Amino acid sequence: MISTVGPNVSAGLLSAPAQGMKRGLNEANGAAQKIAEGAITPDNFTALIQAGIEIKANRAVAITADEMIGTLLDRKA
């Protein structure tokens, strides 16, 4: 059984998905900028779609981690 659940645990579990979402947003912004500048290519649209999927996947990981932390805290209490 977990003896202590502190802020370091939640920060560690949520930092990876947060970084993934930031990376996805950067990729989406880059692809959108290229499209706005007129570089309308399948590669740019694919990059935009992939960035959206990456953001959604990392969001799901963050939600799952948050739920896991809540479950651990409920069991500890």
- On the CB side of 67, CA atoms within 13 Å amount to 6
| Higher pLDDT pick, 5 / 53 | 53
Average pLDDT over residues 9-16: 72
Q: Using 50, 70 and 90 to split pLDDT, how confident is the model at 70? A: confident
Mean pLDDT, the chain, whole residue set: 85
Q: How far apart are CA 50 and CA 53, in angstroms?
A: 5
How high is the pLDDT of residue 3?
Answer: 42
| 50 against 67, higher pLDDT | 50
The proportion of the chain whose per-residue pLDDT surpasses 90, expressed as a percent, equals 60
The residue among 74 and 36 whose pLDDT is bigger is 36
